[in-house]
Amino acid sequence: MKMSVKFILVLISIMSLLSSCDFIRDIFPNGKSKLTFKLSSNASLSDSILLSGNDIKWINGTTGEIRFADTMTIQKIRNFHYIKCYLEADSLFKATVTIPSMSAIVNDLVLNLNMNNGHFYFEDGYPSYIDNPGTNSIRIQNKEKRTAAWARFIDQIKKEGRYIEK
């Protein structure tokens, strides 16, 4: 009888501990990320999940550089045209994946591969050297449209301890 009472008390204690999952965030602050990144290409109408926020090592708020935990992630991303960011079920933004050999002009958010160092950067357009009033105006308008979503993204990255400024 005493053994079964102890067992029930231990079981109740474990269940109550698990039901308040806040302890997991305290023990593992960089636990499961709420961010998901899906990719799509021109040929495919469906999205493929490529990575989660856990696959991000850090994002530099000053330069826009995003560093991935796995270097193979860069090769995966290069095979797609768009990367879409979700915070849980909410779609935050879509960025066009650009590489230096691309000849198109994009006046919205891009995830640009820098061939000099092999790293990706979030930028407001591609190519970045274009400087004319029409293009600059469109890029500014598009940046303003995604301001709230971008702020949510950065807030989540900060909560997960993946944000730096240099």
What's the rounded Cα separation, in Å, for the pair 70 and 75? Answer: 10
Q: Please give the Cα distance from 91 to 21 (Å, whole number).
A: 25
Cα separation, 107 vs 123, in Å, equals 10
Phi, psi of 51 (to 5 degrees): -160, 170
How confident is the model at residue 40, as a pLDDT?
A: 86
Whole-number Cα distances in Å, 104 to 11, 61, 107, 117: 61, 26, 10, 22
Q: Which residues of the chain have pLDDT under 50?
A: 17-30
pLDDT score for 123: 96
CB 85 within 8 A of CB 35: yes
- In this prediction the pTM is 0.76
